[in-house]
Amino acid sequence: MRISVRGNFDLDSEDAFARSKFNSIIYSFKREGAITISGFNSRVEDTDSALDSLFEADNKIYGSEFNDKLLGDDGDDMIYGGRGDDKIKGGAGDDLIHGGNWTKRVNKVWGNSGRDTFVIDDGAWGTVIKDFDITEDRIGLSRMNDWGNKYSWEIRGKNTYIDDGEYWQAKIKGRHDLSLANTVEI
104-151 residue pLDDT tens: 888 999 999 999 999 987 766 789 999 999 999 999 987 777 787 888
Contact 55, 78 (CB under 8 A): yes
Question: Please, what is the average pLDDT of the chain?
Answer: 75
**Residue 44 Cα distances to 70, 77, 160, angstroms:** 10, 11, 31
Query: pLDDT band at 173, cuts 50/70/90?
Result: very high
- pLDDT for 92-107, tens place per residue? 999 999 988 877 888 9
Task: Categorise residue 99: left if φ over 0, alpha if ψ from -120 to 50, beta otherwise.
Answer: alpha
User: Residue 179: which residues within 8 A CB-CB, separation 6 or more?
Assistant: none
Angle, CA of 159, 130 and 3, to the nearest 5°:
160
**pTM score over 0.75:** no
Which band of pLDDT confidence, cut at 50, 70 and 90, is reported for residue 1?
A: very low
Distances (CA, A) of 112 to 75, 86, 89, 173: 12, 16, 7, 14
